[in-house]
Amino acid sequence: MSIGVSTASLYPLETEKALIKLGSLGVKKTELFLNSSIELELYLDTMLRAKEDYGIDIVSFHPFSSPMETVFLFSKYQRRVQEMLDKYESYFEAMNKLGAKIFVLHGAINSSSCDDEYYIQQYSRLFELGKSYNIIVTQENISYCKSHSLELLRKMKNLLGENVAFTVDLKQAIRSQLCVFDIVDALKESIKHFHISDSGKKGDCLLAGEGDFNFSLLFEKAEGFGYEGDFIIELYRNNYDNYEQLSNNCNYLQNIYKQTVKF
């Protein structure tokens, strides 16, 4: 397991520039947050060169189109559903070129009329499409989406078994008034990805070490259920002062991990 950084942490720096910046700082694991469809048309080659030049492992892919999932993928208007499946299929094709294996889904927002049965059905359609490209579609827990509900996440796991996967986001758990470790204990081996940040009196999206979250316990639990993925730092640009803090935070967390698993 390694610690990495999402290019989302550098927003609004353009995606390819964010990838290059992280590479120049020595960050070896990243999540690519796509901020515009045009970036795959105009800048994919630039991102592939950056990946090669800096030896970056792009482990996951998160699209800007998450807010549209409610009215497209989770709609009952099948033309829109197919339109999003086609769009996300193009993302899977790009992911294959980039080497990313984890796709992050937000899903329908809380006010959506989509019930749990239909939600799980639509997630399954995207999961199966991703599988045909050797991509794992992960449901992320999001405070303003139906996925904020631990009950729904449990239901997805129980009904879908091996055909479901999750991204656990620490700050989103806190915003949903959930304990991170309750989510981890409930989903265990179905967790394929983590978005991490610290939390405490100063806020719920902090650099590690600026709050009081127990990262040692998180790493210990992940090791306990055989987690084979990585931990990706995902912050907002106002949560830190300079880019170097991101790479320093990777090293800080990597040391905690090594001490926890006693390498």
DSSP string, 55-117: T-EEEEEEETTGGGTTTTTTSS-HHHHHHHHHHHHHHHHHHHHHT--EEEE--SBTT----HH
Of 113-127, 165-179, 249-263, the range with the lowest mean pLDDT is: 249-263
| Block residue for tokens 């978005």 | 195
Q: How high is the mean pLDDT of the chain?
A: 97
| Contact criterion met (CB below 8 Å) for 253 and 8 | no
Structure tokens at 13: 């720096």
Cα distances from 59 to residues 3, 6, 143, 224, in angstroms, run 11, 10, 24, 22
Q: What is the pLDDT of residue 35?
A: 98
Q: How confident is the model at residue 261 (pLDDT cuts 50, 70, 90)?
A: confident
The overall pTM is greater than 0.75: yes
Mean pLDDT value of segment 18-36? 98
Q: How many whole angstroms separate alpha carbon 15 and alpha carbon 169?
A: 21
Share of the chain above pLDDT 90, in %: 98
pLDDT digits (tens, 9 = 90+) for 40-56: 999 999 999 999 999 99
- Pairing type for strands 3-6 and 29-34 reads parallel
63 pLDDT exceeds 60? Answer: yes
Structural domains of the chain sorted by starting position, each given as residue range(s) with its CATH number in brackets? 3-261 (3.20.20.150)
Q: What is the pLDDT of residue 1?
A: 83
Mean pLDDT value of segment 225-230? 96
Q: How many whole angstroms separate alpha carbon 126 and alpha carbon 35?
A: 20
Estimate to the nearest angstrom the gap between the alpha carbon of 56 and the chain centroid.
Answer: 17
2 pLDDT exceeds 70? Answer: yes
Q: What is the pLDDT of residue 263?
A: 54
User: CB under 8 Å to 224, separation ≥6 — which residues?
Assistant: none
Rounded (10°) CA dihedral 37, 141, 47, 19: 120
Query: Helix H segments across 137-214?
Result: 150-160, 170-175, 180-187
CA angle centred on 80, ends 117 and 47, rounded to 5°: 100
228 backbone dihedrals φ, ψ, rounded to 5°: -115, 5
